[in-house]
Amino acid sequence: MREGLERLVAEMVDRGIVFEDAVDAFERAFIVRMMERHGGNLSAAAKELRIHRNTLSRKMGELKIRR
C-alpha cells in the first residue's frame, strides 16, 4: 500500500496538483468508499471513521457528496 501511495503522491506533485486539492480528492474518495461500505448509513460510517456524525455530514456538504 505504501508504494502505491508514494506513486500517487509523486504523480500528483509532477502534475502540479496543489496540496489542498490533493487533500480534498483523498477525503472525497475515502468518504465515498466508507459510505458505500455502510450502505449510506451516516452514523455507521462516522463511527468507523471515528468522527462525529455531524462532522461527517458537514464534510460531505463541503465536498459536495450526496448520500
CATH of domain 18-67: 1.10.10
For residue 31, CA distances in Å to 1, 4, 10 come to: 18, 19, 23
Q: Where are the domains of the chain?
A: 18-67
Question: Residue 67 pLDDT more than 90?
Answer: no
For residues 44 and 4, give the distance between their C-alpha atoms in angstroms, rounded to a whole number: 28
pLDDT digits (tens, 9 = 90+) for 21-53: 999 999 999 999 999 999 999 999 999 999 999
Per cent of the chain over pLDDT 70 is 100
For residue 5, CA distances in Å to 14, 45, 61 come to: 14, 23, 26
Mean of all residue pLDDT scores within the chain: 96
For residues 3 and 16, give the distance between their C-alpha atoms in angstroms, rounded to a whole number: 20
